[in-house]
Amino acid sequence: MKLAEALMARKDLVAKINKIKELIKNNLVTRKDFQLPIDMTAQFLQYRELQGELEILNKKIDKTNAQYLTDKLNELRILDSKIAFYKECNTALMSSETSWRYNDDITLQRNYDLNVLNSWLEQCEAMRRKIDREIQKTNWETELIK
């Protein structure tokens, strides 16, 4: 199984787990005279079984990522953090454009060059796309470690 296939399987497994969790939570308490159409014990057993499968799959994915993708995943997290911060700063600088005068007594000014900030943002986004492509390529080429 390729890493990308394992990631898709994990997504499906998490969706199944969430569905069973909702079913269990919604049926924990009912009216006394209501006949429950499902076996709660079986639902809990299925939940535990799926959680066990997820744990095994997560360990394999983590081992594979540790061997092949640790640096790339770390770079991605750092870039995501930078991009989020630069976007916040961009929003603050852009909003000052429409309200240069706070009121009659106070005039606002920008204290950083919006063009420089946008350049950094574009560079980070381009680097993120490049790294993401590399990770996707590795995901499809790399066999899952057992």
Contact (CB, 8 A) for 20 and 47: yes
Per-domain residue ranges for the chain?
Answer: 1-28+35-68, 70-146
Report the predicted TM-score, pTM, of the whole model to 2 decimal places: 0.75
Spell out the long-range contacts of 12-16 with Cβ–Cβ below 8 A and sequence spacing 24 or more: 13/50, 13/53, 13/54, 13/57, 14/54, 16/50
pLDDT at residue 97, as a whole number: 58
Q: List the pLDDT tens digit at each of the 146 positions of the chain.
A: 999 999 999 999 999 999 999 999 998 888 888 888 899 999 999 999 999 999 999 999 999 999 999 999 999 999 999 999 999 999 888 876 555 555 566 666 778 889 999 999 999 999 999 999 999 999 999 999 98
Quick one: tokens of 22? 């909702």
